[in-house]
Structure formats: structure tokens, C-alpha cells
Structure 1
Amino acid sequence: MQKGPDQEFHPVVFLRKKLSERESNWSVSEKECYAIVYTLEKLCPYVWGRRFHLQTDHAALQWLHTTKGNNKKLIRWSLALQDFDFDIQHISGASNKVADALSRESFPESTG
């Protein structure tokens, strides 16, 4: 999100990725964490070396900076995310209408 001339926040980019069959069997926390990892890989040139706020409606991801737990995949991703300078802000799902709408809507596959 970026503040526009009207002083309101506007989306800068929308990303999406279709999960493989194996990925679709992951837990909700794994899927949510993977979304962050995938997004930061794609946006690395824009966020690398800059402090930013990451907003999520998945409260369980607030542990990412502490790498607690025994899920090796989540711990590995948490370590990879340590290269970025961000804090995680929980926002309620009700306040996250754009992301919810995009994640639940069915879009035709692009051909290009």
C-alpha cells in the first residue's frame, strides 16, 4: 500500500500464485507464511534494504521473528525472512476486504 495524493492508501501491486496439489495440503499457517515468502521473493528489488510493515489477518504469523516451534518448513522460511527489515501487523479479517475478495474470487487463467 502506498499513500496517494488524496492521502489515502492504495494498492501498488497484486500478486497471485496457484498452489500445487502438494501445497494445497499445507496447513493454513504454512500457506499464509508461504504467501509472504513468495511475495517478498517477487518484490525483493523494491523492499530490500527498506523498513516496511507487513499486514496480515493471520495472527499466528506474528511469531515469524522468533522462530519458535518444530515445523521445519516454517522455521526455514522464518530464517529466510530475517534478511528483510519488517514488522508484522495483525489486522482483522473484516478490515482486509480487498485481500479477502481477491483470495476467494475465481478468475480465468491468463493465456499470456
Structure 2
Amino acid sequence: MRFAAAAEAALACGWRYTVVSGWHPYVQTTLDTLASQRRPMADPLGLQKQVLAQLAQGPRPFGELAQMTTVPVVGRAAILHLLWHRSVGVDLSAPLTDRSVVHRSTPELGRPR
């Protein structure tokens, strides 16, 4: 009854209403991975600029983009940092893997870091 009442209240306000009963199994892992890069990050190697420069030419798979940086292992952390801060984007309706396509964010979504 509570869900039905909430649906009616949302309808009266012109809102959509959906009940989510659970997450896909990969969601928590992806959120933990992205959240690990939420703190300010020093970038003395300029890896974030390298990532953004590569994405200026068009979207790229996560793994390929990391390999294009001068230090690929650290490049992965730079990409995750940019994802958390919405400077770049990725489709999160699927697990985050090396094949996930990373793209530049629109200016109103991204926040420079």
C-alpha cells in the first residue's frame, strides 16, 4: 500500500515513480572503484591532460586510453579520477571494463580538476 500511495502522490505532482528492488551485481564494485578517486589528486606527470587530449579526438575504450598515457598504470587512476569528477563519462549501465567507452563530458556536467 505504501508504494501505491507514493505512486499516486508522484502522479499528482506530475513526477515519474519507480521502485528499485536491487542493483545489478556490478554496480557496488563500480561505485567503490570510482569513489576511491574522489579526493584531490596531484598530477605531476600531466596524465589527466594526456587523457583529455586523446579524448578530444573522440571516444576511446578505457584500456586503450590508459595505454596511451606515459604511465598506463597511473593513467588508469587518472581516468577514474576524471570519471568521478564528471570531466569524462562512461556508460555505467554495464560493468566498467577495459572495453568501456570513455568520452569527454559536456561542459555543464564536467568540473575541471
Query: Taking structure 1 as the reference length, what is the TM-score of the superposition?
Result: 0.29
Query: Taking structure 2 as the reference length, what is the TM-score of the superposition?
Result: 0.28
Larger Rg: 2
